Amino acid sequence: MPRAEHAVSRESFSENALKVLYRLHNSGYQAYLVGGCIRDVMLGKEPKDFDVTTDATPEQIKGLFRNCRLIGRRFRLAHIVFGREIIEVATFRGHHETSQDTESKVSKQSDHGQLLRDNVFGSIEEDAQRRDFTINAMYYNIADFSIRDFAGGMQAIKDKKIALIGDPDTRYKEDPVRMLRAIRFAVKLNMTISQETAEPIKRMAPLMANIPPARLFEEVLKLLLSGQGLDTYKLLSEYHLFEPLFPQLAPLLKQPESRENRFVEQVLTNTDNRINTGQRVTPAFIFAAFMWYPLEERCEQLMAEGGLNHFDAFNLALNDVLNRQIQRIMIPKRFSIPIRDIWQLQNRLPKRYGRRAYQLLEHPKFRAAYDFLLLRGQIEGGKLLELAEWWTDFQEADENQRKNMLNILREKEGGAPKRARRKRKKPKASS
């Protein structure tokens, strides 16, 4: 499609992306913008990520840009760094070898058909066939500002359909994460997944177990922190993709009206509202929420089977549940530590006597733990909701009101629990 036949303008693209395109073009290489940025402009959305594809090899790209770093083992990529913005540049991909020879240096497949290494370069036509969805196989040519649509992406946008390029079974086996991407694009773009693309997902969902936990962390953030997390969760559940991600939680969500399901949906609703109004969110809160009821269940199991007190059982359960989840989705320490804080504060927030209430207010994770408690109270009601409302009032009260609240609490509870004093042993008389 020549420039006169489409509405995609350079003004929609990042200045840094254009710099990369022009340097490649002026150095004698083909250079195209590809994928989501073209799709988003055609849908009237503001593009955020700008991916470039070229016939230059990663080493040739690195030779052109001092601010370039090469990354990736599965497929070699160049990242051109402009401060906080990174322009990703990929060499045209070719058809991978069908051999499963483990010694192959350019292409390697697992026994399940998953591509483990794929450094096979080719032409732009081959590259288009290797793209995942038809809406992502449109290329903007910086040489003449034309668009090349290899797989009917324009028609897919008009039909509002998410469709894989090639045989769905084969493409999902090559990379099971494509099933998650189908869900994400369907929700994000308000489209439906075509019948051929959707049909294999439920039966192939177990292949998600083959994806490294570290890779799934980034994918889950894209799914749940998109501002449309609730709709994404419902579609993941419909296609049986939620269970491979959160295997401890999924069995507790079978009843739509269960407290566990209502809790998850409310967490995602609140998160969507915060994202869509420009407020800050942290993945730690969502992960803490998704593992809370498995934690409670495991704690009760340890108390019943091992005769442990609640404190010991809770701490053992905390480690068990977190370690099991990390086997599926690798949670970095910068998030796993706040998750632990949020959970442990749930046991400390009921203990408000004396200076404890003031000390808890000063805890760095108090606000997150309070929000978590309030959410639990709204779902479960009863004493939990009363406790959450008490903390709401305590935060808003002045110093005299706070003292009065603590006095009322002490009288209501019959006085603060006293610690048993340990008797000091008398020193033995020296002989």
Q: Cα separation of 348 and 126, whole Å?
A: 59
Using the predicted structure, report yes or no on whether residue 431 has a pLDDT greater than 50: no
pLDDT band at 424 (very low <50, low <70, confident <90, very high): low
Residue 109 vs residue 342, higher pLDDT? 342
Q: Cα separation of 109 and 44, whole Å?
A: 38
pLDDT band at 406 (very low <50, low <70, confident <90, very high): very high
| Average of per-residue pLDDT across 33-55 | 92
Q: What are phi and psi of 127, to 5 degrees?
A: -60, -40
Model pLDDT, residue 386: 95
| Average of per-residue pLDDT across 352-379 | 94
Closest C-alpha among 365, 325, 326 to residue 346 = 365
pLDDT band at 186 (very low <50, low <70, confident <90, very high): very high
pTM: 0.85
Contacts of 187 (CB under 8 A, 6+ apart): 226, 228, 231, 232, 235
- As given in the structure block, the two tokens for residue 388 are 């959450």
Model pLDDT, residue 101: 43
Is 49 in the active site? yes
Model pLDDT, residue 412: 80
Is 51 in the active site? yes
E-assigned strands of 37-170?
Answer: 51-54, 68-71, 77-82, 85-91, 107-109, 115-118, 138-141, 147-149, 161-162
Domain extent listing, the chain: 1-211
> Do 71 and 77 touch, CB atoms closer than 8 A?
yes
| Average of per-residue pLDDT across 138-159 | 94
> Do 378 and 354 touch, CB atoms closer than 8 A?
no
Is 101 in the active site? no
Model pLDDT, residue 118: 53
Catalytic residue among 49, 231, 341, 371: 49
Model pLDDT, residue 73: 73
Q: Cα separation of 274 and 285, whole Å?
A: 13
Model pLDDT, residue 102: 39
Strand pairing of 68-71 and 138-141? unpaired
Model pLDDT, residue 426: 60
| Average of per-residue pLDDT across 230-250 | 97
> Do 338 and 365 touch, CB atoms closer than 8 A?
yes
Catalytic residue among 40, 51, 175, 272: 51
Model pLDDT, residue 121: 86
| Average of per-residue pLDDT across 414-426 | 56
| Percentage of the chain lying above the pLDDT 70 cut | 90
> Do 76 and 137 touch, CB atoms closer than 8 A?
no
Using the predicted structure, report yes or no on whether residue 74 has a pLDDT greater than 60: yes
Q: What are phi and psi of 417, to 5 degrees?
A: -65, 135
Residue 12 vs residue 106, higher pLDDT? 12
| Average of per-residue pLDDT across 282-291 | 97
For the ranges 43-57, 85-99, 117-131, 229-243, the one whose mean pLDDT is highest: 229-243
What separation in angstroms does the CA of 383 have from each of 72, 106, 192, 406? Answer: 52, 61, 44, 17
Dihedral sign, Cα of residue 119, residue 123, residue 129, residue 131: positive
Q: Cα separation of 314 and 308, whole Å?
A: 9
| Residue 122 buriedness (CB in 10 A; 0-12 / 13-18 / 19+) | middle
| Average of per-residue pLDDT across 291-298 | 97
Using the predicted structure, report yes or no on whether residue 296 has a pLDDT greater than 80: yes
> Do 77 and 6 touch, CB atoms closer than 8 A?
no
Model pLDDT, residue 105: 43
Residue 107 vs residue 178, higher pLDDT? 178
Residue 246 vs residue 103, higher pLDDT? 246
CA trace torsion 296, 373, 264, 288 (10° rounding): -60
pLDDT band at 103 (very low <50, low <70, confident <90, very high): very low
Catalytic residue among 40, 55, 127, 132: 132
| Average of per-residue pLDDT across 417-427 | 56
Model pLDDT, residue 304: 93
> Do 339 and 322 touch, CB atoms closer than 8 A?
yes
For the chain, what is the mean pLDDT? Answer: 90
Closest C-alpha among 120, 149, 122, 121 to residue 133 = 149
Q: Cα separation of 424 and 276, whole Å?
A: 60
**CATH of range 1-211; options 3.30.460.10, 3.30.479.30, 3.30.70.270, 3.40.1190.20:** 3.30.460.10
Q: How far is CA 205 from the centre of its chain?
A: 18
